[in-house]
Amino acid sequence: MTRLRILLNGTVQGVGFRPFVYRIARTLGLKGYVTNDTGGVVIEVEGAKDKLDDFLLKLHTEKPLLAKIYYEETAYVEPAGY
């Protein structure tokens, strides 16, 4: 089990980004949360490493049309057991 923390800045609020993140995480069987913060969106997802890799790919290739990611910071952190 691995946990990934992702911070995204850009046009990621008001464009359906959080529901999109929820859908792909649920489809891949990942657990965690997504929330807005003052700089953009914070995502924490936990699951198998290959599923997290799929999640990251989908995050960029299937994002809502109006979403634009200008900055991304990712880090693998200790699992939380969501």
Mark whether 18 is an active-site residue.
Answer: yes
- What is the C-alpha to C-alpha distance for residues 37 and 47, in angstroms, rounded to an integer? 23
Question: Which residue in the list 3, 5, 9, 18 is annotated as catalytic?
Answer: 18
Q: The sheet that has 31-37: what strands, in order across it?
A: 31-37, 40-47, 2-11, 68-77
Q: Which residues are catalytic?
A: 18, 36
